[in-house]
Amino acid sequence: MTSDLWHGSPVTEQSLVAGVDTSTQSVKVVVREADTGAWVREGRASHPDGTEVAPEEWWTAFGEACSGGLLDGVSAISIAGQQHGMVALDESGDVVRPALLWNDTRSAPDASDLVTELGGPAMWADAVGSVPVAAFTVSKVRWMARSEPDNAERTSTIMLPHDYLTWMLADQPQEATTDRGDASGTGYWSPIEGEYRRDLMQLALGKDVQLPRVAGPDETVGEVGGRARSFLGIDGSSPIAIGPGTGDNMGAAFALEIAPGDVVVSLGTSGTAFAGSSQPTKDPTGLVAGFADASGVFLPLVCTLNAARILTSTAELLGVDMESFAALALAADPGAGGLVMLPYFDGERTPNLPDARGSLHGISRENLTPQNLARAAVEGMLGGLADAVDALVDVGVQPSRVLVVGGAASNPAVADVAATLVNVPVQIPPAGEYVADGAARQAAWILRGGEQPAWSDVRPGETVSRDPQPVAQVREQYRQAREALYA
């Protein structure tokens, strides 16, 4: 585990807030001024690789990221985290087993069983707005009940990753908390009804367990405790309020202050496409998850398992750095001469193909070039997310622009390729830690007594814009390759 010492300006007299992004690969902590959103400093540390991780590793990494007094002078903090992970605790608050992460697909048959047992996809969509797949917490709960009955019997509390760190921040109070955004990804909390469906927990685990209380979006859920202050190296005794936190996608949406018509495509370890909605959504096909957001409304979302790593893996195969990889991709024509990559390197969530693997289609002696392979990788990564935007349209979203964020968004080929796949303008905002920034904005919200801060132009850099230039051939080739899996 490695960490980078924080860097930035000294504490000012302005009120400071901190936002945390506890993601699959690392933890990022951003400190900003509460009123203006101005950046002050930040820190980060890595998480262990894998699809199951001891939750204590997240807490250790959080401490490393905050070393050197990162949180000194902070008045409020919120944590946004990777969705769906299952943290199981016993009656003493001890971790029962390593947390299963969203990208652990061993629970795929359990998701299928749960869908059947409740009466089909439409029943799940009506109950919780989403149809379970392997990623959802409820599927992992069933996997534990089936595969590790002794651990299931020991389990008395189930949390999500951000819930666990919030609980640790407050020195493990008796009542843990979560928020409606992250809770909506469990498969046993209904954004439609605004409450837990304990019958679905009973269906998955065979018993009920203690679950975190779902706090309001601008509710202060506690204060940073003495043990946590010591562990995190926080000087002084001024109280630090804790916000409810949220899921990573909800945090990014809150940072971006998305408006009706904004569709966000996030290119991290996984890929997501989501949009704000004033009404809950439910999609019996299972493509769109009917999530809640961090502000009090809703966030219909489509997720793919594979995104940025498609580009890095292909660049490594070609033996080039990412700048050279982008140049290769831009040197090829749209459609890559008929070469199509299905980027299911780690299986896939949308469509629900957990056992699938990536494949190249349409190979010929003429088109198998480094340029076309690089282009096919970018088109493959974005092709599934273009399908995701179409699925959002099918549940009532009316896109007016697509915002592309995340680590892979900075690749120069992404904007040009994305413009060939959609019919609305594409914009890539300046790079930033949007999940952590969303958590920091939530912390400012609670610090300001329920008044949302208006943070504008808080990230340096220019927005990259591309007018739509759809090339039907690219989408059609991708569709044919995808459908070949079902032939």
- For position 419, which CATH number holds? 3.30.420.40
| 238, 270: one domain | no
Choosing from 72, 218, 248, 387, which is the catalytic residue?
Answer: 248
* Residues 6+ away with beta carbon under 8 Å from 286: 121, 125, 130, 131, 133, 352
DSSP assigned state of 86? B
Of 208, 227, 247, the residue at which a domain comes to its end is 247
| 44, 72: one domain | yes
How confident is the model at residue 16, as a pLDDT?
98
Of 247, 274, 297, the residue at which a domain comes to its end is 247
399-413 confidence digits (pLDDT tens): 999 999 998 999 999
Overall domain count for the chain = 2
Q: Could you list the residue range(s) of the whole structural domain that residue 331 is in?
A: 258-424+457-487
pLDDT over 50 (residue 53)? yes
| 236, 270: one domain | no
| 137, 280: one domain | no
How confident is the model at residue 343, as a pLDDT?
93
**Phi, psi dihedral angles at 274 (to 5 degrees):** -150, 160
pLDDT band with cut points at 50, 70 and 90 for residue 7: very low
Catalytic annotation present for 248: yes
Nearest CA-CA partner of 247 in 355, 135, 168: 135
| 158, 201: one domain | yes
* Angle CA 73–77–80, to nearest 5: 145
Token output for 448: 């300001």
How confident is the model at residue 332, as a pLDDT?
98
Token output for 153: 């019997």
Residues 197 and 246: beta-carbon distance below 8 Å: no
| 73, 162: one domain | yes
Residue at 336 is within a domain: yes
Residue at 242 is within a domain: yes
* Angle CA 427–428–431, to nearest 5: 160
Cα→Cα distances 278→193, 283, 331, 398, Å = 15, 16, 42, 13
pLDDT over 80 (residue 22)? yes
DSSP assigned state of 485? T
176-194 confidence digits (pLDDT tens): 999 999 999 999 999 999 9
pLDDT over 80 (residue 14)? no
pLDDT over 70 (residue 169)? yes
End-to-end Cα spacing for the chain: 45
Residue at 8 is within a domain: yes
Residue at 441 is within a domain: no
pLDDT over 50 (residue 305)? yes
Residues 457 and 429: beta-carbon distance below 8 Å: no
What DSSP assignment string belongs to 334-348?
Answer: TTGGG-EEE--BTBB
Lowest mean pLDDT among 4-18, 206-220, 340-354, 452-466: 4-18
| 214, 327: one domain | no
- Euclidean distance between CA atoms 258 and 265, whole angstroms: 12
Residue at 200 is within a domain: yes
pLDDT over 80 (residue 457)? no
pLDDT band with cut points at 50, 70 and 90 for residue 270: confident
For range 104-133, the mean pLDDT: 97
**Phi, psi dihedral angles at 134 (to 5 degrees):** -60, -30
Nearest CA-CA partner of 166 in 252, 272, 240: 240
- Percent residues over pLDDT 70 in the chain: 97
DSSP β-ladder status, 74-81 and 246-247: parallel
How confident is the model at residue 1, as a pLDDT?
40
* Cis amide prior to 239 (ω within 30 degrees): no
Residue at 432 is within a domain: no
| 276, 330: one domain | yes
Q: What is the mean pLDDT of the chain?
A: 94
| 133, 160: one domain | yes
| 71, 154: one domain | yes
| 48, 116: one domain | yes
- Euclidean distance between CA atoms 260 and 279, whole angstroms: 12
Of 185, 216, 247, the residue at which a domain comes to its end is 247
| 45, 169: one domain | yes
Cα→Cα distances 305→98, 145, 272, 351, 435, Å = 21, 25, 9, 10, 18
35 three-class SS: coil
For range 289-312, the mean pLDDT: 95
How confident is the model at residue 13, as a pLDDT?
52
Token output for 182: 């992250």
Side chain identity at 11, as an amino acid letter?
V
Residue at 430 is within a domain: no
For range 223-247, the mean pLDDT: 96
Backbone region of residue 206 per phi and psi (left: phi > 0; alpha: psi in -120 to 50; beta: other values): left
Residue at 433 is within a domain: no
